[in-house]
Amino acid sequence: MLHPRIDISHDLEGEPVVLACFDLGGEEIAAAAHAVAAMVAERFRMSEMSVDDVLEFRELTALADELADQDPQPGMRTVVLRPARLSASASAARWSCSSCARSACRSATGIW
């Protein structure tokens, strides 16, 4: 991640809007999209979901779609996310890292 910054502007009604802006390369965007999609697939595999689960599912799916929709051209692109989506993206990255660690441990030891 390069050039992280916070943009605070105002919407049409004069309310402040906070956005997190940063630059990512194509591989980083693809990895983030994969992490979010994998977390959504794993976490919402259950057959019954509460209203809160449905709302979180929609938000994470929208984030995965937004990241996957980036044109895969070489070079850096600026990603602009609301704080909630930034937090969801960070959670997905942490989940993905812990999931990879569990998977590596399982294959190395045969347990867990």
pLDDT of res. 48: 83
Q: What is the pTM of this model?
A: 0.69
pLDDT at 21: 93
Encode pLDDT of 72-99 as tens digits.
Answer: 667 788 888 888 888 888 888 787 777 6
How many whole angstroms separate alpha carbon 58 and alpha carbon 64? 10
Low-confidence ranges of the chain (pLDDT < 70): 70-73, 99-112
The domain locations on the chain are 2-109
Beta strand residue intervals within the chain, DSSP E: 2-10, 16-25, 76-81
- Percent over 70 (pLDDT), the chain: 83
